[in-house]
Amino acid sequence: MAKHIGVRSDRYKLIYFYENKEWEFYDLQKDIHEVNNLYANPLYKNQIAAMKKTLAAFQKKYKDPEPDLKGK
């Protein structure tokens, strides 16, 4: 498995595979087996943006600057 970082809530999961520069986003309420990557789905852009902010906040809190998520 490629190196990655991620964050999840009760409903959503966001993963960034920084070796491959690929994102995955899942609605765990609708897709419990994480089969359908919804990252490119415009209906989830607000949730994805919120999860990216949460991920960046955890990186700052735990002093883990790699990978840089700005502009991605």
pLDDT of residue 26: 98
Q: CA–CA separation, 41 vs 39, rounded Å?
A: 6
State the total domains in the chain.
Answer: 1
Residue 72 within any structural domain of the chain: no
Residue 70 within any structural domain of the chain: no
Residue 40 within any structural domain of the chain: yes
Residues with Cβ < 8 Å from 52, sequence gap 6 or more?
14, 69
Query: Residue 63 burial by CB count (10 A; 0-12/13-18/19+): exposed, middle or buried?
Result: exposed
70 has a pLDDT exceeding 70: no
Residue 71 within any structural domain of the chain: no
Mean pLDDT, the chain, as a whole number?
91
Residue 55 within any structural domain of the chain: yes
Q: CA–CA separation, 3 vs 34, rounded Å?
A: 18
The model's pTM: 0.88
pLDDT of residue 2: 87
Instruction: Please give the average per-residue pLDDT across 7-26, as a whole number.
Output: 95
Residue 27 within any structural domain of the chain: yes
Q: CA–CA separation, 22 vs 16, rounded Å?
A: 6
Instruction: Provide the percentage of residues in the chain whose pLDDT is more than 70.
Output: 93
**Domain range enclosing 34:** 5-61
Q: Using DSSP, state whether 38 is helix, strand or coil.
A: coil
